[in-house]
Structure 1
Amino acid sequence: MVFANTPILRAQDAEAPAAAAAGGLEGDVAVGEALFKSNCSSCHETGTTKSVGPGLKDVHKKHDFQWLVKWIHNSQSMVAAGDPAALKIYNEFNKIPMTSFPTLSEDEIKGILAYIESANNQPAAAAATGAVAAGAAQSEGPSTLFVVLLVVLVVVVVLLSIVLLVVLNLLSRSVDGGREVKKSGESFGSLLGRAARHPAILSATAWVFVLLVVKVTLDGAFNVGVQQGYAPKQPIAFSHKLHAGEYEIDCNYCHTGVNKSRAATIPAANICMNCHGVIKRESPEIQKIYASIQNNQPIEWVRVHNLPDLAYFNHSQHVNVGGVECETCHGDIKKMEVVEQRSSLTMGWCIDCHRTTDVNAKGNAYYDKLVQVHGEEGKGTLKVADIGGLECSKCHY
């Protein structure tokens, strides 16, 4: 069964087919996909696999369209009225009530059905989309430069030591009139000791030490406030690997602000209760949610990704307009038992992304003229940096 509050629409891929037939019903696959992932995917599969609710393959062939509309708008009224098909589904799936969606229009329902049929007709389509690598090349400080410089200095010191040893050996032989040096103090170890005390060696050693101290200091300064790898213990043991991975619950279902707000928002307890009002109620972790509601105390989740106040970031701008996937910044959340900060989220990391990311201009007339002019000047594809993505005031004001 589907558990959700209200349908959430998000920007669509311009390359998706505009419409597809669903048992004689014409529906917009792109709109249907967004609605399905936001409202249905937490409890339904597009195929035959049963989840919280039944698999939806060929559902438009099993039931009359108007029956489906009534069921989606208010399933419980059909159960109460004794509809045989409604009662069969209700009893088969442990009498779990399905959330009603009275605001969905018939065209939107047709879109959902069209998407389900399209997903079953093209099973390989989903496999073509790979996760975007989060570990792009970064400019986090002068570490690479200092490492190269230190390697060069070490090589120079070694070579200089060898040269000095040879010179000292020759000088010793010259002082002794060409005779071999047989004094115990003039062994190889002695020569090495004298070379180590040479002013040039001492100076080079001091410079290497100074540069090492400078490197460590600068690395530490550049990493102030960087919490990459931070994975705090949360007040409730919530598994993204289970919910987003195994059950394939769409990120937008819980983080409702990601398409329309600066912040993705932390899910409220009532979103959890959409499912856990009837599922795993006896679990000690779920009981913490009940306690939070009963005591009217919010769950004190520990924030993982936290930008400084001097930086402005808008989720809706990146997700809706830019078409950026969650995994680009947050890593492969579907495999995380405990969420951690995978990216550095530093200014250099953001700038590198703006320099390499193409502007998502498809279907957006706002960019048409700019794309045309940019192409005529032979500058290649339009990057975020070309539309002001490197201006200070974009993020700091």
Structure 2
Amino acid sequence: MISWRKHYKRGLIAIGLLLSTSASIYAQGDAKNGEKLFKANCAACHALDKQLIGPSLGGVVDRLKKEQNLDTDWLHKWIKDNKSLRESGDKYAIEVYEKFNKTEMLPFPNLTDQDIDDILEYTTNPPAPEPAAADAATGGAADTNSVAALEAAKKESVNSKIILISLVAIGALLLWLLLKLQQLVKLQQSEELSELNANRAVSLGDLYRKYHYVGKGVLVVLGVLAAYGIWNWLMWIGVYKGYKPEQPIYFSHKIHAGENKIDCQLCHSSAKYGKVSEIPSMNVCMNCHRTISEYNGKYMEPGKDKAFYDGEIQKIYAATGWDPASQQYTGKTQPVEWVRIHNMPDFVYFDHSQHVVAGEQAIISSHNKKNPEAKIDVVCKACHGQVDTMNVVQMANDFTMGWCIECHRTTEVDMNNGYNKEYFKNLHDKLKKQYGSGTKITVDAIGGLECGKCHY
């Protein structure tokens, strides 16, 4: 009887030790620190609740124990140097590598054992988001923007009512004055004169002979106004400042270039090396959105919500034939019919690289001198406006010949550039002698006004 009780007690102690050891696997790290480390090192390829480039990592410790009977020591080896683990002949390491298209995971030798334990604790027991932070991430910005939009709408409505009431009052005043004038005229006329005026017939010929100078003058003025109107209309054909068409996939430059500080040339790469700044292909979008399948930013445009942005990301997947569940391309693609905004006429030659590379510093400096209240840091903004603040890109300038010529007349050539300093040395010396030592070389002085530079 005593022997049985001893074995029973020993069994309870062993079970207790086993449970405490098992629990310690999940409680040996700091989940909050693990969340920071996960976002910094793992989030590009992994998520807790779905497969991205790599498998989902939610509950990976428990899953690995149940399916492969492997503990956290294996995960430590895999995270620090998965290549060495595969080369050692580890069967499961090779299986994972083969399963995910032989995509080699980056080694993380810089992570300490405690760092990895923190990450694993986060994958096992992720901390609940703080209510204040969650509210700010989902609704704070949207609420602020909505309130601002509502206030603007109220002001506009009040202004409209004031204008309408003013117009009605002016109309009523004019009508009252007209009635009073009619009464005065009637008082000043005798009965005989009123009867005579009522029966008298006046011919158009008499009126014309009497007032022909006035008539001719009016016709001349109308002719001049008509000619000016036609000329002005012709001059503005093809000028679409403010044009901002709706695109098949909603793309907010404010979110990408403004909130996330993405360089313009990451997407419009040919602007630096070619004549045309092309529309980026959908593969460029997929460089980021292969792993970014939902919008978790703080900024929300008024009238838009997270579901809207997530839906637009799904349009990218449909266009490229990307299956986010299997993390593979299906081959079923759809063309995206983007609406072009900026389009130079065929008879105009414009080279982006010449302005973006050779003229970059000169254009930025000239723009900031002329517009000290709206300085720019990227040369693209000189022509395209503050794109990083636009939810929907619009044509920010006239893009007329006069607009271009004015820029060439006021933009100074960057003489700090070694090439320009040597190439235009003689011209600069000549201008100094002619106009004084303080003279500057502007683009028009080096051929910026020659017709053949843009039309040939």
TM-score (normalizing by structure 2): 0.46
Q: Quick one: which of 351, 358, 364 aligns to 2:412?
A: 358
CA deviation vs aligned residue, 1:281-326 (integer Å, no higher than 9, x gap):
4811111111111133442211100000100000110110011311
SS at match of 1:328: helix
> Bigger shift: 343-352 or 385-394?
343-352
In 2, the alpha carbon distance for the partners of 1:222 and 1:361 equals: 36
**Matched residue type, 2:430:** V
Structure 1 81/354 Cα, relative in aligned 2: closer, same or farther at 3 Å?
closer
Aligned match of 2:320: 293
How many Å apart are 1:278 and its aligned residue? Answer: 1.5
Number of corresponding residues: 237
Q: Which has the higher contact order (CA 8 A, sep 6+)?
A: 1
CA deviation vs aligned residue, 1:351-373 (integer Å, no higher than 9, x gap):
11111111123223333333233
**Matched residue type, 2:389:** K
Q: Quick one: which of 438, 441, 447 aligns to 1:388?
A: 447
In 2, the alpha carbon distance for the partners of 1:372 and 1:291 equals: 61
In 2, the alpha carbon distance for the partners of 1:359 and 1:317 equals: 13
SS at match of 1:258: helix
Does 2:355 match 1:318? yes
Q: Quick one: which of 233, 236, 246 aligns to 2:249?
A: 236
In 2, the alpha carbon distance for the partners of 1:279 and 1:212 equals: 58
Does 2:399 match 1:377? no
Aligned match of 1:225: 238
Does 2:284 match 1:271? yes
Within-5 A mapping of 1:68-147 = 79-80=106-107, 82-84=109-111, 88=115
SS at match of 1:227: coil
How many Å apart are 1:84 and its aligned residue? Answer: 1.2
In 2, the alpha carbon distance for the partners of 1:183 and 1:194 equals: 20
In 2, the alpha carbon distance for the partners of 1:285 and 1:88 equals: 36
In 1, the alpha carbon distance for the partners of 2:114 and 2:443 equals: 54
Aligned match of 1:249: 262
Does 2:336 match 1:336? no
Contact 2:383/2:396, CA 8 A, preserved across alignment: yes
**Matched residue type, 1:382:** I
Contact 1:240/1:336, CA 8 A, preserved across alignment: yes
In 1, the alpha carbon distance for the partners of 2:254 and 2:207 equals: 63
In 1, the alpha carbon distance for the partners of 2:292 and 2:346 equals: 39
Aligned match of 2:75: none
Aligned match of 1:6: none
In 1, the alpha carbon distance for the partners of 2:220 and 2:114 equals: 83
Contact 2:240/2:395, CA 8 A, preserved across alignment: yes
In 2, the alpha carbon distance for the partners of 1:53 and 1:215 equals: 64
CA deviation vs aligned residue, 1:203-242 (integer Å, no higher than 9, x gap):
1111111112111111111111212221111111000111
| RMSD, matched Cα | 3.7
Q: Quick one: which of 194, 198, 210 aligns to 2:211?
A: 198
Flag structure 1 segments of 5+ consecutive residues without an equivalent.
Answer: 1-49, 55-75, 96-181
Contact 2:253/2:393, CA 8 A, preserved across alignment: yes
**Matched residue type, 1:310:** F
How many Å apart are 1:195 and its aligned residue? Answer: 10
In 2, the alpha carbon distance for the partners of 1:329 and 1:87 equals: 52
CA deviation vs aligned residue, 1:35-81 (integer Å, no higher than 9, x gap):
xxxxxxxxxxxxxxx9x859xxxxxxxxxxxxxxxxxxxxx978435
Contact 2:248/2:336, CA 8 A, preserved across alignment: yes
Which one has the largest radius of gyration? 2
Aligned match of 1:172: none
Contact 1:78/1:86, CA 8 A, preserved across alignment: no
Contact 1:262/1:314, CA 8 A, preserved across alignment: yes
CA deviation vs aligned residue, 1:322-347 (integer Å, no higher than 9, x gap):
11311111111112111111111111
In 1, the alpha carbon distance for the partners of 2:403 and 2:40 equals: 42
Contact 1:79/1:87, CA 8 A, preserved across alignment: no
Structure 1 299/367 Cα, relative in aligned 2: closer, same or farther at 3 Å?
farther
In 2, the alpha carbon distance for the partners of 1:228 and 1:196 equals: 49
Contact 2:253/2:390, CA 8 A, preserved across alignment: yes
SS at match of 1:377: helix
Higher helix share: 2
In 1, the alpha carbon distance for the partners of 2:119 and 2:284 equals: 24
Flag structure 2 segments of 5+ consecutive residues without an equivalent.
Answer: 1-36, 42-102, 124-191, 296-309, 322-331, 364-378
How many Å apart are 1:82 and its aligned residue? Answer: 4.5
Structure 1 198/353 Cα, relative in aligned 2: closer, same or farther at 3 Å?
same
Contact 1:359/1:383, CA 8 A, preserved across alignment: yes
In 2, the alpha carbon distance for the partners of 1:361 and 1:86 equals: 56
The alignment-based identity, stated in percent, is 39
Contact 1:226/1:346, CA 8 A, preserved across alignment: yes
